[in-house]
Amino acid sequence: MKISRPIRARIDPAAIRHNYRIAKQYAPNSRAWAVIKANAYGHGQWRAVEALRGEADGFAMLESENAVALREAGVTQPILLLEGIFSARDVRAVVEHRLTTVIHCAEQLELLVRNATFSAPVAVCLKLNTGMNRLGFTAQTLPAALAVLRQLPVDITLMTHFAEADSERGVAWQMERFRAIAGDWEGPVCLGNSAAILRHPEAHGDWVRPGIMLYGASPFAGQSAEELGLQPVMALESALIGVQQLAAGERVGYGGTFTAERPMRIGVVACGYADGYPRHAPTGTPIAVLGRRTRTIGRVSMDMLACDITDIPEAGIGAPVTLWGDGLAGQVPADEVATAAGTISYELFCALAPRVPVSLGGASDVDVR
């Protein structure tokens, strides 16, 4: 069905493949789980899977039912359940469909022991709490867990998650704790997230877990995705559906939060918070119209937002707009939009609303004649 409203998201599968290869270049001695949780960070689980079906060493996600669907669709690579098992049904899925599961607490371990019928070895990632303090075994609880698992036909990998790989504190303190907890462990380990892959080669391990970098955004506040060699995967695009002339002193939008200091031309864009654009994005958030960068003004509404087109006189109704990404109307890095809105690109991507239609292909693939 053709959607009459001009907004759309465009997903570039080639960019996903490119970014996965960048992860592999940074961690050449590691295998890489392509993290596709949260509907591939809003990009579409199946789009990401198809982009990486012949490329990824494995896929990482949360829900066993989604993992089973991948198996039923012919995906043969390893599949990791990042939060582990929650029910006997999950345990059966792990065994029957050869899934790899995280085990992060004694309760999950008991669930596995009580419900698994081992027809073949099961792959387990035993998670250690090295300072994130969300999930994982400690130095006090790990020995008992290992003692149980070593009585079972399981292949064990130790893993942890870094809390500050993207900041000045880095990962050394957690690596030290990991080594202290793991003791004389000589088996495989799964360590690096996107930030660690890109900045901390000593913290890669046998498996890494690229997440946000797969989708062309930077995990670092002070380093752009472009500088890291990453390509944007999602472009959120729309068009102007209205143009207004403002006199000095006139206000724009709900609450009148923006007042024109001079005569201005205002473009109204068919995009609002019901489409997933952040309502809290302030005046000045970057946006592009007809290939030229400008700024949003006033408060974001449910279905519309306003932008300054005073210096783009050729922009009228129907002019293409890029909200973020490498769009037909120019490039606006999602990280810049997120920073202006006081959030992170992860949230922008995951918030994309179901009502926004999605198409495949990069800007260079689209015929604009």
Q: Which residues have a catalytic role annotated?
A: 37, 254
Which residues are CB-contacts of 213 (< 8 A; sequence separation ≥ 6)?
A: 19, 22, 23, 194, 197, 198, 219, 225, 228, 230
* Angle at 36 (CA atoms; ends 33, 39), nearest 5 degrees: 175
β-bridge mates for residue 240, sequence order: 269
Residue type, 189: V
Count of beta carbons in the 10 Å neighbourhood of residue 329: 24
Q: How far is CA 141 from CA 45, 116, 137, 146, 264, in A?
A: 35, 22, 6, 9, 65
For residues 110 and 135, the answer to whether their CB atoms sit within 8 Å is no
| Percent helix, percent strand, percent coil in the chain, to nearest 5 | 30, 25, 45
Q: How far apart are CA 28 and CA 45, in angstroms?
A: 25
Q: Can you say whether the dihedral through the CA atoms of 44, 47, 53, 56 is positive or negative?
A: negative
Give CA separation, 40 vs 16, 48, 60, 181, in Å.
Answer: 11, 7, 10, 32
